[in-house]
Structure 1
């Protein structure tokens, strides 16, 4: 059993703190995001699913911008540019496939 709150927390970008679980094929990310924190537009080889657990997060995926709230889920295909901003303090849950090697450290 894994207790998420007992995993080490890392600040990946200013205002974005995460705890990670890595499986054979996926990385799970449990994020705490500060209001106003900006995730710059970027892309990566990973398929990504992001669920808002708490708060409001404005996300642009490709050329479409939407506000995601508690319970909303975004699916981001590999290599598609995306980014966003926390409109409130947020808790987000990400699933990446394949494993995010850059988050293993």
Structure 2
């Protein structure tokens, strides 16, 4: 249901491509890295610190370090996630 591919990890930046099928509901997540989430295609409901926002193709969501967040996939999607510093758990 979720497929991740590290596209680049150099210096203090990392980009990960994530393909997720409709119906997926992620666990509540938080991590010490800052994150940008770009929706390449599809629709997701993104909850950040208790506030929900619908994201569609072309939308970007900023996630501060250690902020609790969760996604619910409405339509099959491809996300590009950028992290700083590198998320070692994804390498």
Partner of 2:46: 59
Count of aligned positions = 90
How big is each residue's C-alpha offset from its partner over 1:54-94, in whole Å with a ceiling of 9 and x where there is no partner? 00010100011011000000000000000111101001000
After superposing on structure 2, the runs of 4+ consecutive aligned residues of structure 1 that deviate more than 6 Å are none
Is 1:22 the equivalent of 2:16?
no
How big is each residue's C-alpha offset from its partner over 1:12-46, in whole Å with a ceiling of 9 and x where there is no partner? xxx21111021111110111111111111111001
Structure having greater relative contact order (Cα 8 Å, sep ≥ 6) = 2
Gaps of 5+ in 1: 1-14
- Alignment TM-score, normalising by the size of structure 1: 0.83
Secondary structure of 2:83's match? strand
Gaps of 5+ in 2: none
Is 1:44 the equivalent of 2:46?
no
- Alignment TM-score, normalising by the size of structure 2: 0.95
Task: Report which of the two has the higher share of strand.
Answer: 2
